Amino acid sequence: MDTKTKATLTLDGKSYDLPVHAPTLGPNVLDIRKLYADAGVFTYDPGFTSTASCESTITFIDGDKGELLHRGYSIDELAEHSHFLEVCYLLLYGELPTAAQLSDFEGRVTRHTMVHEQMHYFFRGFRRDSHPMATLVGVVGAMSAFYHDSLDINDPWQREVAAIRMIAKLPTIAAMAFKYSAGQPFVYPKNSLDYAGNFLHMCFAIPAEDYVVNPILSKALDRIMMLHADHEQNASTSTVRLAGSSGANPFACIAAGIACLWGPAHGGANQACLEMLREIGTVDRIPEFIARAKNKDDPFRLMGFGHRVYKNFDPRAKVMKESADEVLGLLGIENNPTLQVAKEMERIALEDDYFVSKKLYPNVDFYSGIILDAMGFPTSMFTPIFALSRTVGWISQWKEMIADKDQKIGRPRQLYVGEKHRKYVDVRHR
Ligand code: ACO
Percent of all residues in the chain with a pLDDT value above 90, rounded to a whole number = 89
Q: Rounded to whole angstroms, how far apart are CA atoms 231 and 18?
A: 29
Q: Is 118:422 a contact under the CB 8 Å cutoff?
A: no
Q: What is the set of active-site residues?
A: 307, 365
Q: Are 306 and 355 in contact (CB under 8 A)?
A: no
Task: Determine the pLDDT at residue 2.
Answer: 74
pLDDT of residue 4 exceeding 80, the answer is: no
**229 touches 386 (CB < 8 A):** no
Q: How far apart are the CA of 303 and the centre of ligand 1, in A?
A: 9
Mean pLDDT of 12-26: 96
Mean pLDDT of 85-99: 98
Residues 237-290 have pLDDT tens digits of 999 999 999 999 999 999 999 999 999 999 999 989 999 999 999 999 999 999
Distance, CA of 83 to CA of 96 (rounded, Å): 11
Q: How confident is the model at residue 195 (pLDDT cuts 50, 70, 90)?
A: very high
Would you say the CB of residue 358 lies under 6 angstroms from ligand 1?
Answer: yes
Q: Is the CB of 311 under 6 A from ligand 1?
A: no
3-state helix, strand, coil in the chain (%, to 5): 55, 10, 40
Beta-carbon contacts of 136 under 8 Å, excluding residues fewer than 6 positions away, are 173, 174, 177, 258, 384, 387
Q: Which residues are within 8 A (CB) of 371 and not within 5 positions of it... i.e. 6 or more apart?
A: 220, 224, 320, 323, 324, 327, 328
- Interior CA angle at 207 toward 204 and 208, to 5°? 100
CA 178, 182, 183, 188 torsion: positive or negative? negative
CA angle 379, 278, 230 (to 5 degrees): 45
Q: Is the pLDDT confidence value at 1 over 80?
A: no
Q: Which residues pair with 29 in a beta bridge?
A: 21
How far from the centroid of its chain's Cα atoms is residue 305's Cα? 16
Task: Tally Cβ neighbours within 10 Å of residue 245.
Answer: 19
Task: Compute the distance from residue 170 Cα to the ligand 1 centre, in Å.
Answer: 29
191 CA to centre of ligand 1 in angstroms = 41
Cβ of residue 201 lying under 6 Å from some atom of ligand 1: no
Residue of 273, 305, 382, 386 to test ligand 1 pocket, by largest number of atoms within 8 Å of CB: 305
Global pTM reads 0.93
CA 305 to ligand 1 centroid distance, Å = 7
| Beta-carbon contacts of residue 161 (< 8 Å; ≥ 6 apart) | 149, 150
Q: Which string of DSSP letters, residue by residue, matches 105-124?
A: HHHHHHTT-SPPTTHHHHHT
* Contact partners, residue 28, CB within 8 Å, separation at least 6: 5, 20, 21, 22
Torsion-angle region of 361 (φ positive above 0: left; ψ -120 to 50: alpha; else: beta): beta
Evaluate: CB of 374 within 6 angstroms of ligand 1. Answer: no
Determine contact, residues 420/251, Cβ cutoff 8 Å: no
pLDDT band with cut points at 50, 70 and 90 for residue 128: very high
360 C-alpha to ligand 1 centroid (Å): 8
365 lines ligand 1 (CB under 6 A): yes
Task: Report residue 406's pLDDT band, with 50, 70 and 90 as the boundaries.
Answer: confident
pLDDT for res 407: 87
State if residue 268 touches ligand 1 by the CB under 6 angstroms criterion: no
Atom 22 (ligand 1): residue with closest C-alpha? 358
d(CA 217, CA 247): 39
Q: Is 291 in the pocket of ligand 1 (CB under 6 A)?
A: no
Mutate to test the pocket of ligand 1, among 301, 355, 357, 367 (most ligand atoms within 8 A of CB): 301
> What is the chain's mean pLDDT, rounded?
95
**Rounded mean pLDDT, 181-186:** 95
Question: What's the rounded mean pLDDT across residues 317-331?
Answer: 90
Q: How far apart are CA 411 and CA 86, in angstroms?
A: 35
339-356 CB burial, b ≥16 within 10 A, e <16: bebbbebbeebeebeebe
Distance from residue 99's CA to the centre of ligand 1 (Å): 42
68 pocket-lining for ligand 1 (C-beta < 6 Å): no
